[in-house]
Amino acid sequence: MSTREPPAARPEAHLVLADGAVFRGEAFGALAARPGSVATGELVFNTSLSGYQEIVTDPSYAGQVVAFTYPHIGNYGVNAEDEEARRPHCRAIVVRDLASRPSSWRATGDLESFLTRHGLGGLTGVDTRRLTRHVREAGAMSCALGTATEGELLDAARLEPGTVGADLVGEVTTERAYEVAGGPLRVVAYDYGMKRTILRQLTRTSTIEVVPASTPASEVLGREPDGVFLSNGPGDPAALPHLVREVAALLGSVPVFGICLGHQLLAAALGATTYKLPFGHHGANHPVRRVATGGVEITSQNHGYAVADGSLAAAEVTHVNLNDGVIEGIACRDVPAFSVQYHPEAAPGPHDARYLFEEFRRLMEHDR
């Protein structure tokens, strides 16, 4: 007979959306430790079946509460190798069933303890199918969750500003430049909220100097790199005209490769406009068509904004989302620069689009 003690009862809690919708659950992590606790953010849902640790530590989720559509979260634990940043960047998570005992030879701890250590928590026992349907119909919106009263949570949800017009890059970028040794090429990478897996891919061909998001283009070009990388990151690209100006100043002087927010900033530097998607693209199973070949890639995605079709005259569309037709990739016509909206580094997967890092290498070597 097992001598393992049953888990302690969790406090009842609620998730309340800004439109008044209420979802019941139980608090865990930091939200369970504080009576009357409240966490707020913009609620989005993620359809990945695995990779929850990479998701909660992805800086692109700054300012957001992540609801997982996959019902069992935490079942294989956590380990330091799967962290995409030094700490989690989402505000909280919402799950159907939080595993109380992880099972994996790689696990060095459990998800709840990991979140608690960083002052975060969430809700378990939530009807995430109903929640996902609601967000699909009503759109991503501000929310509040915790053990406070429903009225207090509703007030907090309606006071949460969300991500529209928000410059969240300053919260996640590196404070000082640093170098990561790698291959013979030299790349300067703008850190708008860069994931560690991107660095691992880039260092296969290049030595990377990571610089703060506010670094002037003149300073970057003064380092004489073979290429410049524009990273992923959180928030509304329309709130970042100061970063767009620096990207524009790079074009034509050095090869440029952008991912996610970097893609949006490159497009904006070329004169395009961006807009907020109804509920964003968040998951590891989004089909994207590569225009040049007609081939379909299954991609990992995490973004709430997109480049407006028809607003981009200086570049051609290279990739298109097959779910909703959103622009997923561009290539400049007159200068060596390209970008994709999705995540070709894709930790833990899929890896269909990792060829883009090789394309960046070839572009740099051709322009050397």
Q: Catalytic residues, which ones?
A: 260, 343, 345
The owner of tokens 């899929």 is: 350
Query: Tokens in use for 253?
Result: 């002087």
With 0-12 CB in 10 A as exposed, 13-18 as middle and 19+ as buried, what is 291? middle
| Residue 167 to residue 243: CA distance in whole angstroms | 11
Residues contacting residue 94 through CB under 8 Å, at least 6 positions apart: 15, 23, 25, 43, 65, 66, 67, 68, 122, 123, 126, 128, 131, 145
Which residue, among 178, 164, 247, 248, has the nearest Cα to 207 in the 3D structure?
178
Pairing verdict, β 97-98 and 72-73 = parallel
Q: Is the dihedral of CA 116, 121, 127, 130 positive or negative?
A: negative
Do you find a cis peptide bond into 350, omega within 30 degrees of 0?
yes
Phi first, then psi, for residue 229 (nearest 5°) are -110, 135
Round the CA-based radius of gyration of the chain to a whole number and report it. 21
Query: What's the CA gap between 292 and 342, in Å, rounded?
Result: 17
What tokens appear for 295 in the block? Answer: 């081939």
The label of the residue with tokens 């880039």 reads: 202
CA 86 to chain centroid, in Å, comes to: 15
Q: In this structure, is the dihedral angle defined by the CA atoms of residues 99, 100, 105 and 111, taken in order, positive or negative?
A: positive
Q: Give the SS3 label for residue 354.
A: coil
Q: How far is it, in rounded angstroms, from Cα 228 to Cα 180?
A: 14
Residue 321, Cα to own-chain centre: how many angstroms? 17
Beta bridge partners of 14: 24, 146
Give 207's strand partners.
Answer: 186
